Chains A and B, each alone.
Chain A
Amino acid sequence: MSVNKEWTPNIVAFCCNWCSYAGADLAGSGRMNYPANVKIIRIPCSCRLNPMFVLRAFQRGADGVILCGCHPGDCHYSTGNYYARRRMTVLFSLLDFMGIERGRTRVEWVSAAEGAKFAATMNDFVKTVTELGENKKLGDLRCKK
């Protein structure tokens, strides 16, 4: 597959307020590099992620959506991420069943201390989505540039 050098993917990263958002902050203050096309949206907990958010991100031009939350066992609300884990598994499997490329959605656990992991995760995710190319299957034509 040929990769268009000009094109860069739009990535939406939903980060939980307590761990991953702080992890992103640490990545920033530590001057670690990750691509600027990752747009972070802060949510109170990974289990706040309504599947509608994922789909609407794709509708409005996201090429990949990633959810970051506290490591299992470390949730600020004790168990939120355990629920999120099941929900996202079922959702991703349903998207796969409908023929949406598997690599476009991901869940990673990033703690507040893992600035380096946050940057590495984003670099890796951007690379995967860049290889997959533009999101054509779940976008809304009216929102295309």
Chain B
Amino acid sequence: MMKKISFQDLPRLFREISETQTLIAPIEKCGQVNFGVWTPDSTLRLDALKTVKSAKGAFFPQVEDIVHFRMKDKTIDIHPAEVLTEDFVIFGVRACDARSFELLDRVFLADPVDPFYAARRKHGTVVTLACNQPEETCFCTNFGIDAADPCGDVTAWMDRDTLYLRANTEKGEALISRLENGEEAPVEDLKKSIGEILKKLPLNDLNLTGFDGDHLMEKFNDPKWEELARGCLGCGTCTFVCPTCQCYDVRDFDAGENGIQRYRCWDSCMFSDFTLMAHGTNRPTQTERFRQRFMHKLVYFPAKNEGLYSCVGCGRCLEKCPQSIHIVNVIKSLGVKEDD
């Protein structure tokens, strides 16, 4: 059943939601739009197509505590961090980020299940938003994602001054059932017009043939990696804005008399201390680290997950890499050429 609400009434709806649960939405702070906790004073930016960081942080935060230890005489107090027990809503997730949750599920909900992630997935309601104006850096169409009709618990469309919402799950139904009924026609029109734009995107026809487990060694040994990685600065921008990068490190902070705080935080395969072991690192140069990132997304992940690529085509790395080196370069240089 289609529901609707005017933009004018949106703050009221948000206030109602935020009274009973945490509401996360794209919010502008110091000139940049990122997902953050909505309060009545926040600057809501549903119009912003791409937040700088992806929406994955709602389920897999950049930093989270795991356990706390403290020595007391001859005993050690151990306090595991609590998993989330309260419901929350994340509003305004785009189709690409919504798909990324499915990819993260395959990592964190596979055995052994990650309790922190699982609790957030259980308690989170995802409201997605169709992309009225996709950008030239978007290439989600290559991965079978429909930006005109994204998945999620609720799907929303912005049409002039009205927001149309459709519940896809029971959780979604519970969130929007109180809204008034809306018409289907404007949404159909919108889907059609978005579909037209999606067809025109310049990066629509990436050829992903050959990026699979069968060609693993061929891709791994491709001499082009060195040239591709030459300009790479080794910063973690691409990995930290990426919706599907899921590597993390577990670290201890020694707070002196306050004991030891063990936490996990995002890690980046671009860093020289990524998966550092006692013997050193097994990827000593940037070329190897660079290769790891793209081999993971385009070869290792699909080989283990029925051909599903670990890229959703959000294009954040295209916009944010300081030296404009990104996954589309890699696909085009290592992939099969049309005339081959």
Contact = CB atoms under 8 A, between A and B. Distances in A.
Is there any pair of Cβ atoms, one from A and one from B, under 8 angstroms apart in the complex? yes
Interface of A: 60, 140, 142-145
Contacts of A140: 255
Interface string B242-263: 0000000000010111100100
A22 B261 CA distance: 38
Contacts of A143: 255-256, 258
Contacts of A142: 253, 255, 258, 261
12 contacts: A60-B256, A140-B255, A142-B253, A142-B255, A142-B258, A142-B261, A143-B255, A143-B256, A143-B258, A144-B258, A145-B257, A145-B258
A100 to B, nearest CB: 20
The list of the 4 closest CB pairs from A to B, nearest first, reads A142-B255, A143-B255, A142-B261, A142-B253
Nearest to B65: A142
B131 to A, nearest CB: 39
Interface in B237-288: 253, 255-258, 261
Given A60-B256, A142-B258, A144-B258, 6 more contacts: A140-B255, A142-B255, A143-B255, A143-B258, A145-B257, A145-B258
Interface of B: 253, 255-258, 261
A42 B257 CA distance: 22
Nearest to A61: B256
Nearest to B261: A142
B1 to A, nearest CB: 47
B325 to A, nearest CB: 32
- Specify which of B256, B257, B258, B261 lies most central, judged by the most chain A CB atoms within 10 Å of its CB: B258
Nearest to B263: A142
A142 B253 CA distance: 9
Nearest to A141: B255
A145 B70 CA distance: 13
B238 to A, nearest CB: 29
Contacts of B255: 140, 142-143
Contacts of B256: 60, 143
B81 to A, nearest CB: 13
A79 to B, nearest CB: 36
A57 B111 CA distance: 43
B264 to A, nearest CB: 15
A137 to B, nearest CB: 18
B258 to A, nearest CB: 6
A142 B256 CA distance: 9
A13 to B, nearest CB: 19
A144 B261 CA distance: 13
Contacts of A144: 258
A51 B257 CA distance: 24
Contacts of B253: 142
A143 B260 CA distance: 10
A120 B246 CA distance: 56
A110 to B, nearest CB: 28
B69 to A, nearest CB: 13
A106 B156 CA distance: 57
A144 B257 CA distance: 9
A60 B261 CA distance: 14
A37 to B, nearest CB: 16
A41 to B, nearest CB: 15
A48 B253 CA distance: 26
A11 to B, nearest CB: 17
Contacts of A145: 257-258
- Specify which of B253, B255, B256 lies most central, judged by the most chain A CB atoms within 10 Å of its CB: B255
A140 B261 CA distance: 12
A7 to B, nearest CB: 18
A144 B255 CA distance: 9
A109 to B, nearest CB: 31
Contacts of B258: 142-145
Contacts of B261: 142
- Specify which of A60, A140, A142 lies most central, judged by the most chain B CB atoms within 10 Å of its CB: A142
Nearest to A142: B255
A62 to B, nearest CB: 12
